[in-house]
């Protein structure tokens, strides 16, 4: 979402001037993240839940599971559904009601990061081929939007999935026994996907923008990496991006993602 008109021109000009010296208002360089904090077990009703804070940006991510039918083209695989809700309490820019494009996009980008990295073993979610499988619901809620919801949501989704426990399932009664854990976690890849979103501001690319920086972003690219491989890539906003800029982003992605990984490493193990 580009809300350049919501940030005063004088502020936008100063942000660009600072970037000429690889500086930002809060003292970070263009490739530095804010502090990342993680709180687990936020919801007692979810199979897994975390709150992720990147600076003042906060998201709550919960995982719920239900039994349903598989899709016709994947009869022996479980399902994944990722949705996002941008709550008015997180920003005056959001309103109650049906999800608008920013919320839909946030859910889809997060879904792609998880799905394309092969993080979840969907075959392990099959109960009876062609009839019953587990569906994993990942729900994202914005609590405070001070920029970079995309990376906060992705981190939250990965950690909530790692923390989730599959509920008991009574096969005779065909009933999920919510509140009773099977004690089993999801079958996940050892290489958790980490995403970093690059924003172009003037002639520079920055990561983890605060709200004012995100407002004046001309375009953005979210890169997901699993292990040493790029597993997903999603462009946002309408502005084009040339080949040379893409090279700059890809060249810088691995190092930034390593730094993010170190910030949340203890929660991934």
Identify whether the C-beta of residue 94 lies closer than 8 Å to the C-beta of residue 86. Answer: yes
Number of domains in the chain: 1
Statement: residue 190 has pLDDT above 50: yes
pLDDT on residue 2: 47
The mean pLDDT value for 234-263 works out to 91
Tens digit of each residue's pLDDT (9 = 90 or more) over 213-230: 999 999 999 999 998 899
pLDDT on residue 237: 83
pLDDT on residue 3: 52
Q: Could you count the other beta carbons within 10 Å of the beta carbon of residue 21? A: 8
Question: Whole-model pTM above 0.85?
Answer: yes
Q: How many CA atoms lie within 13 A of 174 on its CB side?
A: 6
The mean pLDDT value for 238-242 works out to 85
CATH of the domain at 244: 3.30.230.70
Tens digit of each residue's pLDDT (9 = 90 or more) over 131-179: 999 999 999 999 999 999 999 999 999 999 999 999 999 888 888 998 8
Statement: residue 1 has pLDDT above 50: no
Query: In which order are the strands placed within the sheet that holds 229-236?
Result: 204-207, 194-201, 219-226, 229-236
Question: 3-state SS string over 217-251?
Answer: CCEEEEEEEECCEEEEEEEECCCCCCHHHHHHHHH
Task: Tokens for 88, please give them.
Answer: 């008015």
Statement: residue 188 has pLDDT above 70: yes
Output Rg (C-alpha) for the chain, integer angstroms: 19
Tens digit of each residue's pLDDT (9 = 90 or more) over 38-67: 999 999 999 999 999 999 999 999 999 999
Pick the range with the lowest mean pLDDT from 96-105, 198-207, 233-242: 233-242
d(CA 95, CA 86): 8
Statement: residue 25 has pLDDT above 80: yes
Statement: residue 231 has pLDDT above 70: yes
Q: Which domain holds residue 162?
A: 4-268
Statement: residue 180 has pLDDT above 70: yes
Tens digit of each residue's pLDDT (9 = 90 or more) over 80-129: 999 999 999 999 999 999 999 999 999 999 999 999 999 999 999 999 99
pLDDT on residue 194: 96
pLDDT on residue 239: 84
The mean pLDDT value for 59-79 works out to 96
Statement: residue 4 has pLDDT above 50: no
pLDDT on residue 8: 87
Q: How many residues comprise the chain?
A: 269
């Amino acid at each position: 979402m580009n809300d350049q008109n919501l940030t005063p021109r004088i502020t936008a000009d100063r942000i660009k001037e600072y970037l000429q010296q690889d500086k930002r208002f809060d003292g970070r360089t263009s490739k530095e993240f804010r502090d990342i904090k993680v709180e687990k077990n936020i919801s007692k009703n979810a199979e897994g839940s975390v709150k992720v804070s990147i600076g003042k940006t906060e998201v709550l991510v919960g995982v719920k599971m239900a039994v349903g039918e598989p899709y016709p083209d994947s009869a022996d695989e479980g399902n994944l559904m990722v949705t996002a809700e941008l709550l008015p309490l997180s920003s005056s820019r959001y309103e109650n009601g049906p999800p608008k494009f920013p919320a839909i996009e946030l859910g889809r980008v997060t879904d792609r990061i998880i799905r394309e990295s092969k993080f979840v073993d969907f075959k392990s979610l099959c109960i009876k081929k062609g009839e019953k499988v587990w569906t994993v619901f990942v729900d994202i809620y914005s609590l405070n939007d001070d920029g970079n919801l995309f990376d906060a949501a992705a981190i939250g989704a990965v950690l909530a999935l790692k923390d989730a426990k599959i509920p008991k399932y009574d096969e005779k009664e065909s009933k999920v026994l919510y509140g009773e854990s099977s004690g089993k976690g999801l079958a996940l890849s050892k290489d958790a996907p980490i995403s970093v979103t690059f924003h172009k501001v003037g002639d520079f690319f920055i990561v983890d923008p605060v709200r004012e920086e995100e407002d004046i972003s001309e375009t953005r690219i979210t890169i997901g990496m699993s292990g040493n491989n790029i597993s997903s890539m999603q462009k946002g906003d309408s502005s084009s991006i040339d080949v040379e800029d893409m090279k700059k982003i890809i060249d810088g992605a691995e190092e930034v993602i390593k730094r993010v990984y170190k910030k949340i490493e203890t929660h991934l193990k």
